[in-house]
């Protein structure tokens, strides 16, 4: 049996695991998909996974190592994810602040058939997505990157740190260009809240967003009337639970810093539900009377928690700049909506 990797000095590890580039392989995308399915069964709800690195860039030579970026909604989720990965045999290679790196596929005999690097981060820490997209959409720049990598390969075959350092300036330059060109492409509600909200509001809203993600909600940027705004649909099994507008501009500036709408999508779950009288009365204060904003055909009569209202928008409730009490109510409404969606899914299966 060979010497354990933990007992090998750095120079010996670099000899055992040299820089090695190959032509692009179509199977790399399948390796990512296979591993993604496994990871989704390990990681806590609310995590996002992305294929990044050179194996995610079309047509260029790369180390046959699959880089996977994992975004988590908060530090608690990040710590849980790190613990789950360690329990599954992933080796932690570095840890600092809100970044943890893991690998799998390194053995005392050398590389396994499939090798993976996992990069565990907080939501929004994802510059690699911009670099990946930019090179995929600019093949000439991708070829420049390939040429740089091939030039560095033999020079630093047994010095991974220097190989990486020599690429840094190129990666930073084109990442910054990509972030300007693709402004807002990957911005998340969490990123926007973290960068622009006051400390008090920031913590309250981030906790709410983390709750939604941990319960399995996904966020999708809206188009149409709302395409120019930071407007997301929070979806659960593909069905809308909430709509969120952050830092509205123009006519929507009055809805800043955050407005949350509920959505029923034809369900009657909100007509009567196990809310306290106080919760119902707070909901009635937030019934969304149609403002003819252009995103729907107009209001209708609706029963909202046992009380009838006229000219109600398709989004029955609207909360502008919700405070602590309203956020707690929104979480309660989310739980009811999640249960409603699950119940109707079960009915369709019967």
User: In whole angstroms, what is the distance from residue 303 CA to residue 280 CA?
Assistant: 12
User: In whole angstroms, what is the distance from residue 142 CA to residue 131 CA?
Assistant: 10
Contact indicator for 159, 165 with CB cutoff of 8 Å? no
Least confident piece of the model among 26-30, 100-104, 192-196? 192-196
Confidence check: pLDDT of 1 > 60: no
Confidence check: pLDDT of 214 > 60: yes
Calculate the average pLDDT of the chain. 91
Contact indicator for 211, 319 with CB cutoff of 8 Å? no
| Edge-to-edge strand ranges of the sheet holding 91-96 | 48-52, 65-72, 110-122, 99-107, 91-96
Confidence check: pLDDT of 340 > 70: yes
Contacts of 213 (CB under 8 A, 6+ apart): 45, 46, 47, 73, 77, 123, 219
Instruction: Name the pLDDT band for 338 (thresholds 50, 70, 90).
Output: very high
Instruction: Name the pLDDT band for 194 (thresholds 50, 70, 90).
Output: confident
User: 103 - beta bridge partners?
Assistant: 91, 117
pLDDT of residue 292: 67
Confidence check: pLDDT of 184 > 70: yes
pLDDT of residue 347: 85
Confidence check: pLDDT of 193 > 70: yes
Residues of the chain with pLDDT > 70, as a percent, come to: 97
User: 261 - beta bridge partners?
Assistant: 243, 318
What would the two tokens of residue 214 be? 């941990």
Contacts of 111 (CB under 8 A, 6+ apart): 17, 20, 105
pLDDT of residue 311: 87
User: In whole angstroms, what is the distance from residue 231 CA to residue 223 CA?
Assistant: 8
Please give the average per-residue pLDDT across 110-124, as a whole number.
Answer: 94
Confidence check: pLDDT of 299 > 90: no
Taken in order of first residue, the domains within the chain and their CATH numbers are 5-181 (3.30.460.10), 189-349 (no CATH)
* DSSP code per residue over 279-341: HHHHHHHTEEE----SSSS--EEEEETTEEEEEEEEEEEEEES--HHHHHHHHHHHHHHHHHH
Confidence check: pLDDT of 295 > 70: no
Backbone angles phi, psi at 243, to 5 degrees: -120, 140
Confidence check: pLDDT of 268 > 80: yes
Within the chain, strands assigned E span 48-52, 65-72, 91-96, 99-107, 110-122, 218-221, 231-236, 239-246, 258-262, 287-289, 300-304, 307-320
**How far, in whole angstroms, is CA 142 from its chain's centroid?**
25
Please give the average per-residue pLDDT across 119-148, as a whole number.
Answer: 96
Instruction: Name the pLDDT band for 79 (thresholds 50, 70, 90).
Output: very high
Confidence check: pLDDT of 2 > 70: no
Stronger pLDDT, 2 or 321, i.e. the higher one:
321
Confidence check: pLDDT of 260 > 80: yes
* DSSP code per residue over 159-187: -HHHHHHHHHHHHHHHHHHHHHHTTTSS-
Contact indicator for 232, 222 with CB cutoff of 8 Å? yes
Q: pLDDT tens-digit profile of 24-59?
A: 999 999 999 999 999 999 998 888 999 999 999 999
User: In whole angstroms, what is the distance from residue 266 CA to residue 260 CA?
Assistant: 19
Contact indicator for 121, 72 with CB cutoff of 8 Å? yes
Least confident piece of the model among 48-57, 250-259, 289-298? 289-298
Please give the average per-residue pLDDT across 244-272, as a whole number.
Answer: 90
Orientation of helix 75-87 relative to helix 199-214, angle to 10°? 40
């Amino acid at each position: 049996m060979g010497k354990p990797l933990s007992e090998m000095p750095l120079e010996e590890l670099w000899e055992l695991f040299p820089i090695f580039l190959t032509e692009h392989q179509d199977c790399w995308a399948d390796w990512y998909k296979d591993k993604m399915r496994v990871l989704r069964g390990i990681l806590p709800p609310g995590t996002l996974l992305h294929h990044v690195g050179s194996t995610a860039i079309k047509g260029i030579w790369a180390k046959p190592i699959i880089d996977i970026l994992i975004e988590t909604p908060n530090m608690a989720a990040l710590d849980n994810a790190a613990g789950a990965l360690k329990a599954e045999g992933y080796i932690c290679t570095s840890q600092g602040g809100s970044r943890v790196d893991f690998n799998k596929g390194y053995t005392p005999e050398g590389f396994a058939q499939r090798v993976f690097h996992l990069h565990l981060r907080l939501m929004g820490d994802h510059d690699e997505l911009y670099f990946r997209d930019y090179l995929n959409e600019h093949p000439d720049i991708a070829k420049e990157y390939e040429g740089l990598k091939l030039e560095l390969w033999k020079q630093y075959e047994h010095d991974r740190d220097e190989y990486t350092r020599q690429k840094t300036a190129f990666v930073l330059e084109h990442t910054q260009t990509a972030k300007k060109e693709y402004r807002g492409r990957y911005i998340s509600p969490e990123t926007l809240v973290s960068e622009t909200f006051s400390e008090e509001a920031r913590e309250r809203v981030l906790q709410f967003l983390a709750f939604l993600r941990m319960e399995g909600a996904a966020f999708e940027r809206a188009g149409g009337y709302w395409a120019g705004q930071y407007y997301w649909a929070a979806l659960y099994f593909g069905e809308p639970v909430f709509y969120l507008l952050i830092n509205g501009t123009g006519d929507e500036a009055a809805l800043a810093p955050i407005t949350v709408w509920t959505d029923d999508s034809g369900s009657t779950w909100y007509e009567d539900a196990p809310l306290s009288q106080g919760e119902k009365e707070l909901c009635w204060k937030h019934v969304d009377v149609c403002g003819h904003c252009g995103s729907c055909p107009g209001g209708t009569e609706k029963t909202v928690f046992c009380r009838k209202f006229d000219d109600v928008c398709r989004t029955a409730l609207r909360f502008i700049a919700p405070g602590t009490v309203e956020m707690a109510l929104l979480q309660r409404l989310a739980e009811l909506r999640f249960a409603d969606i699950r119940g109707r899914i079960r009915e369709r299966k019967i």
